[in-house]
Amino acid sequence: MMASIASQTYPNIKTIVHSDDPRDEYVRGDVVINGAKYGPAYGNGTYNLYNNRLLKKIPDGPGWFHFIDDDDEYAAPDVIERLVESSLRDHVNVGRSQRWNNTIWPRHWGTQKSFQTECFFIHTDHKHKGKWWGNTGGDHHYSKQLTKVLPINWIDDLLICRAQEGKGHGRCLDAGGKSHRRKMAPGSMVPVIGLTIYRAKRPKDTIRQGEIKRIPIELAEKLERDGKVKITHWTTYVEKPQPINVYAMQ
């Protein structure tokens, strides 16, 4: 995760880290919060409440903040730079994130029910306009508070990060997790994420790293075999636990 932050081309990034585990020797950042646990985990409770501690540590002054987990990585080195260029100061800016099971969030573009924490990019003017709740669905409740007072700016062509890949604290995917791919009719258009740049004959068909496009299933499967893209319509039946550490960017 920290290597992903360090590789960003945007020149002025401050990392705020929350850790409740003294065994986490790898934890480092501009500001490190060595916080105590909130007690037994229930739903996403402890994970959500940590974010309130992070918000309090964001310095005064103009800037942006972004929540990202310890087992996530930014989709490309210029993600923060592109977010700053595309974001509006008095809006909730929402991009896309890829979960560990390869599904893309928001799953239903234009609704707030399917937001993930990593989808938000918000100006520091609004850091106190929402509070994380200690129950399940905290990212939904947080976004609901913000969108009552701020409009949404959809940044629909930007994949911000690949989320919850099972790397945090050495965790693997849950035992028994199953996934499947729907059968697609020939010629069906499917969403893909660029893993590396794919240069098509027509420039408009080129797929950049981290870019999301819909292409015919036959081409998508070929490019996936070649390691150029990842088809995103996998589904799974088992969720993994939320990570312990949370990072906030400003």
pLDDT at 85 over 90: yes
Mean pLDDT of 63-82: 88
Res 178: pLDDT: 39
* Amino acid type, 141: H
Q: Cα(70)–Cα(74) distance, rounded to whole angstroms?
A: 11
Mean pLDDT of 57-64: 88
Report in angstroms the alpha-carbon separations of 170 from 23, 71, 165, 247.
Answer: 13, 9, 10, 17
Query: Maximum CA pair distance of the chain?
Result: 57
* Amino acid type, 118: E
Cβ neighbours for 196, distance < 8 A, ≥ 6 positions apart: 209, 227, 228
Least reliable range by pLDDT among 21-25, 70-74, 161-165:
21-25
Q: Cα(106)–Cα(229) distance, rounded to whole angstroms?
A: 19
In terms of Cα–Cα distance, which of 29, 10, 163 is closest to 98?
163
Of residues 112 and 178, more confidence is placed in 112
Res 88: pLDDT: 94
In terms of Cα–Cα distance, which of 200, 199, 207, 202 is closest to 229?
207
pLDDT at 53 over 70: yes
In terms of Cα–Cα distance, which of 65, 71, 82, 70 is closest to 210?
82
Report in angstroms the alpha-carbon separations of 249 from 17, 40, 63, 151, 221.
Answer: 9, 27, 10, 21, 35
| Banded model confidence at residue 43, pLDDT cuts 50, 70, 90 | very low
Coil/strand/helix, residue 94: strand
